[in-house]
Amino acid sequence: SQLRSSDVRTDNSPLQIFVKAKKRINDIFVDIEKYVEETVEFMTSLQNDRNIVTTEEAAKVKNYIDKVRGIKDVLRRDHMKVAFFGRTSNGKSTVINAMLRDKILPSGIGHTTNCFLQVEGSDNGESYLITEGSTEKQPVQSVGQLGHALCKEKLCESHLVRIFWPKEKCLLLRDDVVFVDSPGVDVTPNLDEWIDKHCLDADVFILVANAESTLMVTEKNFFHKVSTRLSKPNIFILNNRWDASASEPEFFDQVRAQHQNRAIDFLSRELKVYSPKDAEERVFFISAKETLQARMQEQRGQPAHNGALADGFQNRYFEFQDFERKFEECISKSAVKTKFEQHSQRGKHIATEIRQALDEILDRTKEMRTEQLNIKKEVHDKLNFTEQQLMLLTQEMKDKIHRIVEDVEQRVSKALSE
Ligand code: GTP
Ligand code: MG
């Protein structure tokens, strides 16, 4: 209800690709779990019955219950992760706030963000934060203090503070997008640690560049490092602070072309993550500050544009929305592939293994049946034979007795006649 009508793209949002896939794969694993449980029950009953199933076989299938439950847990927690990097003060935190439509993360001049801040959706409308290594929920008012470099309570710059923000306040959070804000890449000697800790499971990276200057070596180096660790990372480049171009209209086209060419060159020729043509779709010229202001105005029911904004605001605002759309498409497709492909392989594997186990049991019981039939037949044949023997024997005896009787009769009559 807090979402404005302009936000209601609910079901045609590209993020739904992920949301629906997640629901489907979760349902499939619920079925697999049931299937495994039933199999275990069945096998246990057979184990007690003439040892048709061995203890090891039953134990093997039983193990799958834990495996399936483990996968189900991971699946429930799976989300799409986007990480923002760039030099100090380029506007990383402001871009995230603009996407969240609220001032959640600390932003300002100078070096502001002093540790990793992860924003994710919370159920039941709660907002709180949790610092690394703790489970204590702290009130969210302290985000500013905790994450701000001027705060006395210093956190290690590679530490992670998780901020939980009500899902209903932003469609991106509702649809399982998790945002990661970072300190400037130019203020740390620990880029490798950052990558190990925060980047390996990111689905999309956003390089927030400063359109007032140009892409810097520190920014480029960071992404070179990332692309040696991840094959073909998804990267967007935002030329932020593009509102500054309004004050130099005579160079507008040239500056834009310069930034555009350098960004495309960086993505295609240097990092080799896209072709030059695809790279074009990954570069945007925006003003995060204006977008955030406009959205906060809209939220208050006022017009986005109060007239005090620099020329070209509308274009920059559209370009921000265009970026969001392309970002949503990219992140949901990528996350489905990286997060669910492995799980579906495992699910298939488990189903096949269980089927094999059941097939083996079926074969075994078939063999046992034929064996029993054979035994029956043998006994039967033996009985037949004995019966026949007996019959023969009886016949023989009968004949013999007959003959004896005849003999006796003959002898008696002979004796009588004599
Ligand atoms: P660190 O956390 O220090 O690394 O900086 P950051 O990249 O998070 O930058 P932040 O979002 O804190 O923005 C720095 C300053 O630039 C703030 O005063 C913002 O209001 C301002 N700013 C951000 N985006 C824009 C923009 O598009 N145009 C203009 N004119 N100012 C902006
Ligand atoms: Mg910041």
What are the residues facing 284 on neighbouring strands?
238
> Residue 1: pLDDT above 60?
no
Q: Which of 84, 88, 93, 323 to mutate to test the pocket of ligand 1 (most atoms within 8 A of CB)?
A: 93
- What is the rounded CA–CA span in Å between residue 222 and residue 185? 7
Nearest to 341 by CA among 78, 157, 95, 31: 78
**pLDDT for residue 407:** 75
- What is the rounded CA–CA span in Å between residue 401 and residue 414? 19
Q: Where are the alpha helices (DSSP H) in 195-338?
A: 217-229, 252-265, 276-280, 288-299, 313-335
> Residue 393: pLDDT above 90?
no
Q: Where are the alpha helices (DSSP H) in 78-164?
A: 92-100, 143-147
Tokens (6 digits) for 124: 């039941």
Query: Ligand 2: distance of its center to the CA of 116 in Å?
Result: 9
Query: Ligand 2: distance of its center to the CA of 206 in Å?
Result: 13
- What is the rounded CA–CA span in Å between residue 59 and residue 349? 17
Contact 122, 128 (CB under 8 A): yes
pLDDT tens digits for 198-212? 999 999 999 999 999
Which ligand is the nearest neighbour of the Cα of 103?
1
**Strands 235-240 and 283-285, bridge-based pairing:** parallel
Lowest average pLDDT, out of 112-116, 161-165, 274-278, 414-418, goes to 414-418
Atom of ligand 1 nearest to the CA of 240: 27
3-state DSSP assignment of residue 164: strand
Q: Which of 85, 89, 100 to mutate to test the pocket of ligand 1 (most atoms within 8 A of CB)?
A: 89
- What is the rounded CA–CA span in Å between residue 68 and residue 48? 25
Top pLDDT among 274 and 113 is at: 274
**pLDDT for residue 142:** 63
Residue nearest to ligand 1 atom 12, measured at CA: 107
Tokens (6 digits) for 359: 């097939």
- Residue 397: phi and psi, rounded to 5, are -60, -45
- Residue 178: phi and psi, rounded to 5, are -115, 130
Top pLDDT among 145 and 8 is at: 145
Q: At what angle do helices 15-48 and 55-77 cross, to 10 degrees?
A: 160
pLDDT tens digits for 282-334? 999 999 999 999 999 998 888 877 666 778 999 999 999 999 999 999 999 99
- What is the rounded CA–CA span in Å between residue 43 and residue 408? 74
135 burial via Cβ count (<10 Å: 0-12, 13-18, 19+): exposed
pTM summary value:
0.83
Write the CA distances from 342 to 20, 55, 75, 82, 416, integer angstroms: 17, 30, 11, 20, 110
| Mean pLDDT of all residues in 61-89 | 93
**pLDDT for residue 44:** 84
Query: Ligand 2: distance of its center to the CA of 291 in Å?
Result: 16
- What is the rounded CA–CA span in Å between residue 67 and residue 33? 9
What are the residues facing 130 on neighbouring strands?
162
Q: What percent of the chain has pLDDT over 90?
A: 51
| Mean pLDDT of all residues in 136-155 | 72
Tokens (6 digits) for 323: 């970026």
**pLDDT for residue 6:** 47
The type of residue at 160 is: L
